Amino acid sequence: MSFEETFWDAKVTAEISATDVMQLASEVGMPITPEEAAELLRNEFRARGMWNHMIQAGKDYIAASLETKRHRAWWELSCQKDPLEERYDA
- Determine the pLDDT at residue 33: 94
The pTM of the whole model exceeds 0.75: no
- Determine the pLDDT at residue 45: 62
User: Along the 90 residues of the chain, how does pLDDT read in single tens digits?
Assistant: 787 777 766 665 567 788 888 999 999 999 999 999 888 887 766 667 777 888 898 899 989 998 888 888 777 777 777 666 665 555
- Determine the pLDDT at residue 88: 57
Geometric angle at alpha carbon 45, from 63 and 41, rounded to 5°: 100
